[in-house]
Structure 1
Amino acid sequence: MPLRWKIAALAAATACLVAAAVGVLVHLWTAQDIRSRAEAQVFNSVYSAMDAYRRTGTLTDGAELDPAELPAALRHPADGDRHTAYDGRVNGNLGPSVWAAQRVDGPGSRVLAVRVNMSSELYGLRRLDVVMAVASLAALAAATPLAVYGAGLLGRRLRRVSETAGRISAGDLDARTGPTKGRDEVADIAATVDLMADSLSRRLHTERQFTADVAHELRTPVGGLLAAADLLPPGETEDLLRAGVRDLRGLVEDLLEISRLDAGAEQPVRAHVPLDAVVAEAVARTGLDTEVTAADAQCAPTTQTVETDPRRLERIVSNLVINAHRHGDTPVQVTVEGRTVVVRDNGPGFPPDLLRGGPRRFHTGATERGSGHGLGLTIALGQARLLGAELRLDNAPDGGAVATLRLPD
């Protein structure tokens, strides 16, 4: 349930509770007031009737002597004392009632009693209950839309903050909530999200600048090492040194490529190319034993042509194939179908943290996945974003890692 409806339901429930509590209190107070006034009236009436009866011998104010309906509690009152009792019996329009009684003479004498009928007052109490109920429903009907409207305003402000946080989480470090109306907790949350985005942006900028600086500084000495290795006499030492320098140069080139992708300095050079041919060429350049299958070639004689940057597409495919061989297990299969390229191995699959947060530089996951710098998937993901393609990493149900590249239409 959306937050606005939760707040509206809470406001409606609160209004109902308040209306019910007020209605019950008004009912009880009014009922007690009616009974108190009836007792005072019947008490005064029996006093007047007793005075008139003693002086004139006549019954006034509706007084009766030993009436049959007199409650049992009043049939034997103490001498000279006036007593009252409530009679809840209803007979037609008569009742409930309040009785008052007083003994006329000495012991064994008759009892003079007066009754006050409360039916009209209780009817008025029932009408008051109905009016209170109608007024409560009317107030609830008026308050609920206002609560929905107010909750909607709050919900929109929170949704704006949530959307900004989602954009930041997706990689848009320039997303900001901006000024927010009010000086409440929502405004504090919005300001905190913006401050967090500023701090994260600064840290990432510092990290990217450091990576670019290191790569640029290492490029010259690595080139010198490679030139010096060429001067060594042939032999095992020269081969080992050349291989190490070559790996170091590859690492520096990868760092430079990542820094250019981070800085947005790369621009694709698009051309119409046959997708299966570009993929086959990229796999062949790796020099690794990989099976390439073009599903479209089995169904139609024409080749699927896509508009993309072939150099960057080869870079993505080769990185995925190398990663599959390095961290997975053979056989490694590459399937081209439509505008989709799927690279699958038969190893342990991608680690859970990589599936949750995506590839991270210098992070290779579990140790059983092999060695590496954790840059291959990072570069592949960056190049895919530059091409407007989608690169999804999954694990197959029967085991193995699956990388799916979908090129845009």
Structure 2
Amino acid sequence: MLRTGVRWKISIAITAVGALTVMALSLVVHNAARVSMLDNAREVQMERLNFAQNYYETSNKRVRFGTKLNDPALPAALKSKALQGRKVSSVQERGSGPPDIWAAVPVGNGDVLSLHSTFTDRSSNVMADLDRALVIGSVAVVFGGCALGILIGGQISRRLRKAADAAGKVAEGNTDVRVRDAIGGVVRDETDELARAVDALTDALQERIEAERRVTADIAHELRTPVTGLLTAAELLPPGRPTELVRNRAQAMRTLVEDVLEVARLDSASERAELQDIALGEFVSRRVTAFDPAVRVRVVHESWVSTDPRRLERILGNLLGNAAKHGGGPVEVTVEGRVVRVRDHGAGFPEALLRDGPSRFRTGSSDRSGNGHGLGLTIAAGQARVLGARLTFRNAAPEGSPNAAGTGGAIAVLWLPEHAPTNTGSFPAQPPGAGAGAGRV
């Protein structure tokens, strides 16, 4: 499908309309001018013939002034009308040459006095000059219309692009952006109406999301105390299988409440990172080994990064927990510069996660065990945003291909930023002037 911008569509439309208009007007003007000049030539021809007729009748029938008596070249239709006692004139076209101007008048006794001439060269020159002027004017109008279309279309296109960029920032979570302010301009048109509608939609969605976040946080906060009490009471039960089941369920409920509270805090954009300089490869190796010694860690290239170790450890723990729970062994972690990859060899991420990203309380398809609440990857993605990092998900095996042994699995990639994420409101853990090694882990 051919795709063109609004600017060029408007320019082409204005140019096409202008071209059709000037062509029609040029044809009308050309034909009107030609008809007028031919009518004028016939009138002049008839006046000359009247003068010659008067001379013929007063000078004893002497034929003068270019007239002819009973001219054999006189068109038959014109001669027939003249024999009926009428003074007639006509224009006879001659293909590509100039037309013939005829005038005839009866002079008695069945004789016809006629005068013949061609359309004068001067008249032809006038028509040529007129045609030239019409062509020049038409070209000027077409180019002017094209320039006007580009100007008008460019303004509309710029406003729409600004609106699209602002809407894209809103979609990325920057709800402080207002489309109407982004497009600017003095003239009010449909673009402003669209911008106001998008801003109103953004405000409504933001209010709804904030209300849902507050409700979720309030519910989780209210559940915290009774769940803690339930867990404490479970510790007082006598040993046995039922007691163990109660303790496990109470602990799972407590973990869920804590995860929901963490998601609510991340959604509120109030979290701030406490930055430290760490050797990424060494840090990841120690944390992964402490989490699961069976996971293989490979450091391709060591790099110092400025990040929040606590949040980075949380991200690694959630990614490894997701790989252990939903994926298949072996689980591998690779550190290359500022990039950390976590890969399992299971069935891979579901298509919905690859398409839309992690979503709370969505655990994926049935081929991944379906246990859990879908909060692990959601928390990992939220913590990555606080660090100014980027967390991406993909499958090792191409889509639709069989998941051969050793070639498939899910891959989560954490891209840490080159500079400290000041745009998230993060702050250094060490005060200015502290030693370079004081904050390293």
TM-score (norm 1): 0.88
Corresponding position of 1:317: 316
CA distance in 2, matches of 1:44, 1:397: 98
CA distance in 1, matches of 2:256, 2:95: 101
CA contact (8 A) 1:390 1:406 kept: yes
Corresponding position of 2:264: 259
Structure 1 residues 117-146: Cα deviation after superposition (integer angstroms, max 9, x where no partner):
323223211211111221233344444434
Letter matched to residue 328 of structure 1: G
Corresponding position of 1:58: 62
CA contact (8 A) 1:97 1:116 kept: yes
Structure 1 residues 309-358: Cα deviation after superposition (integer angstroms, max 9, x where no partner):
12211111121122223333333222111111111223333233322322
1:25 aligns with 2:24: no
Structure 1 residues 221-241: Cα deviation after superposition (integer angstroms, max 9, x where no partner):
111111011011111111111
CA contact (8 A) 1:355 1:393 kept: yes
1:287-302 alignment to 2 at 5 Å?
287=292, 289-296=294-301
1:195 aligns with 2:200: yes
1:29-108 alignment to 2 at 5 Å?
29-56=32-59, 57-67=61-71, 69-71=73-75, 73-74=77-78, 76-77=80-81, 78-89=83-94, 95-106=98-109
CA distance in 2, matches of 1:408, 1:140: 53
Structure 1 residues 149-178: Cα deviation after superposition (integer angstroms, max 9, x where no partner):
333322222222112101111111111124
Structure 1 residues 54-109: Cα deviation after superposition (integer angstroms, max 9, x where no partner):
44312355322244653454455543234434233499xx9422212244444xx4
Does the C-alpha gap of structure 1 residues 68 and 286 become closer, same or farther in structure 2, counting only changes over 3 Å? farther
1:1-400 alignment to 2 at 5 Å?
1-56=4-59, 57-67=61-71, 69-71=73-75, 73-74=77-78, 76-77=80-81, 78-89=83-94, 95-106=98-109, 109-119=110-120, 120-178=122-180, 180=184, 181-287=186-292, 289-296=294-301, 303-369=302-368, 370-398=370-398, 399-400=408-409
Moved more, 10-19 or 189-198: 10-19
CA distance in 2, matches of 1:24, 1:17: 11
Does the C-alpha gap of structure 1 residues 66 and 353 become closer, same or farther in structure 2, counting only changes over 3 Å? farther
Q: Which SS does the other structure have where 1:96 is aligned?
A: strand
CA distance in 2, matches of 1:162, 1:174: 15
Q: CA deviation at 1:308?
A: 1.7
Does the C-alpha gap of structure 1 residues 85 and 2 become closer, same or farther in structure 2, counting only changes over 3 Å? same
Moved more, 160-169 or 396-405: 396-405
CA distance in 2, matches of 1:396, 1:103: 105
Does the C-alpha gap of structure 1 residues 229 and 32 become closer, same or farther in structure 2, counting only changes over 3 Å? same
- For structure 1, the residue ranges without an aligned partner over 5 or more in a row are 297-302
Does the C-alpha gap of structure 1 residues 95 and 28 become closer, same or farther in structure 2, counting only changes over 3 Å? closer
CA contact (8 A) 1:79 1:102 kept: no
CA RMSD, aligned part only? 2.6
CA distance in 1, matches of 2:391, 2:350: 17
CA distance in 1, matches of 2:410, 2:118: 90
Q: CA deviation at 1:286?
A: 4.0
Corresponding position of 1:300: none
Does the C-alpha gap of structure 1 residues 50 and 353 become closer, same or farther in structure 2, counting only changes over 3 Å? farther
Letter matched to residue 133 of structure 2: V
CA distance in 1, matches of 2:71, 2:306: 110
CA contact (8 A) 1:282 1:315 kept: no
Q: CA deviation at 1:184?
A: 1.7
Q: Which SS does the other structure have where 1:270 is aligned?
A: strand
CA distance in 1, matches of 2:88, 2:367: 98
Q: Percent identical across equivalent pairs? A: 40
- For structure 2, the residue ranges without an aligned partner over 5 or more in a row are 399-407, 419-441
CA distance in 1, matches of 2:328, 2:125: 89
Does the C-alpha gap of structure 1 residues 183 and 305 become closer, same or farther in structure 2, counting only changes over 3 Å? closer
Q: Give the number of aligned pairs.
A: 399
Q: Which SS does the other structure have where 1:255 is aligned?
A: helix
CA contact (8 A) 1:46 1:101 kept: yes
Q: Which SS does the other structure have where 1:265 is aligned?
A: coil
CA contact (8 A) 2:11 2:145 kept: no
Corresponding position of 1:299: none
Q: Which SS does the other structure have where 2:237 is aligned?
A: coil
Q: Which SS does the other structure have where 2:371 is aligned?
A: coil
Q: Per chain length, whose mean CA-contact separation is higher, i.e. which structure has more relative contact order (CA < 8 Å, sep 6+)?
A: 2
Q: Which SS does the other structure have where 2:274 is aligned?
A: coil
Does the C-alpha gap of structure 1 residues 90 and 388 become closer, same or farther in structure 2, counting only changes over 3 Å? closer
CA contact (8 A) 2:180 2:192 kept: no
